Amino acid sequence: MSNKWIILILTLLNTLAAQTSTFVENPGYINISADTIGVPIYIDGSLIGHTPLGNPIPVLPGIHHITHHPPSIQDPFIQYGQTKDVKQIYVMGGDTVTVHIETYLLAQQLSQIKKEYHLKNYIGISMSFLLLWQLWIIAN
């Protein structure tokens, strides 16, 4: 009988000492929209959902990174931040920040960067062959 009372008292003490709310401080909110339906949204590397998101997302106050690419993408143009697809925002407690992600323009920008990268590689390779050809001419 005394064990039941001890368990009851410990349970009541546990509920009194428990955390009363999800957030210790007043949360901030991020309202995210995109120009395309079905775009995956990642906040600080975690998948939040796909657009359109119905309600603002509650977050802790501070700096957050928002993107539509998963953090495990192996594309070097995305991985090393050569595009502006990662939005860094600061959210204050009780404030709502609105972010719009333009995936169409980012896809075009990524395509343009890849074309420039390949063009630079072709120019570098052709300059190397030209140098070798001139050295071969000089050697003969």
Please check whether residue 5 is in contact with residue 23, taking contact to mean a CB–CB distance below 8 angstroms: no
User: What are 95-116's pLDDT values in tens digits?
Assistant: 888 888 877 766 677 677 788 8
Burial class (CB in 10 A: 0-12, 13-18, 19+), 89: middle
CA distance 30 to 55: 9
Report pLDDT for 29. 92
Domains of the chain: 22-139 (2.60.40)
- Coil, strand, or helix at residue 81? coil
Beta strands in the chain (DSSP E): 28-34, 40-43, 46-50, 57-59, 62-67, 87-91, 96-101
Please check whether residue 28 is in contact with residue 96, taking contact to mean a CB–CB distance below 8 angstroms: yes
pLDDT tens string, the chain, 140 residues long: the values are 678 888 888 887 777 766 666 656 788 899 988 887 877 888 888 888 888 888 888 998 888 888 877 666 545 555 555 456 678 889 988 888 888 887 776 667 767 778 888 888 888 888 888 999 999 999 88
Report pLDDT for 82. 46
CA 42 to chain centre: 5
| Lookup: tokens for 56 | 């603002």
Closest by Cα among 61, 108, 60 to 84: 108
